[in-house]
Amino acid sequence: MDKFVRCNVEHPTNLRRRGYNHLAFRVGDIRAAAEHLTAHGVKMLSDEMDYISRRLRFFEGPEGITLELVQWVDSNRN
């Protein structure tokens, strides 16, 4: 019989969970949105990241669900 090892460290996007991976919210100013969330006790799971014409930041939602802020930085993208 195979043995399963449980890892105590979880990646911010919860890739090992069943169901959807995470939910993203598009914002106009990611820094302002992150500051607002942290001021209201929300736990950030990552620093701000630059990724293919976007700025991203993960945070913890209800019941440990991973949520994401996304700001487009490419002015041609709507």
pLDDT of residue 53: 93
Segment 23-37, tens digit of pLDDT: 899 999 999 999 999
Q: Is 38 helix (H, G, I), strand (E, B) or coil?
A: helix
What is the pTM assigned to this prediction?
0.70
Lay out the sheet containing 23-26: strands in order across: 23-26, 66-72, 54-60, 49-51
pLDDT of residue 72: 95
Closest C-alpha among 53, 42, 45 to residue 22:
45
Domains of the chain: 23-72 (3.10.180.10)
With tokens 């939602």, the residue in question is 61
**E-assigned strand segments in 1-78:** 23-26, 49-51, 54-60, 66-72
> How does residue 63 score in pLDDT terms, banded at 50, 70 and 90?
confident
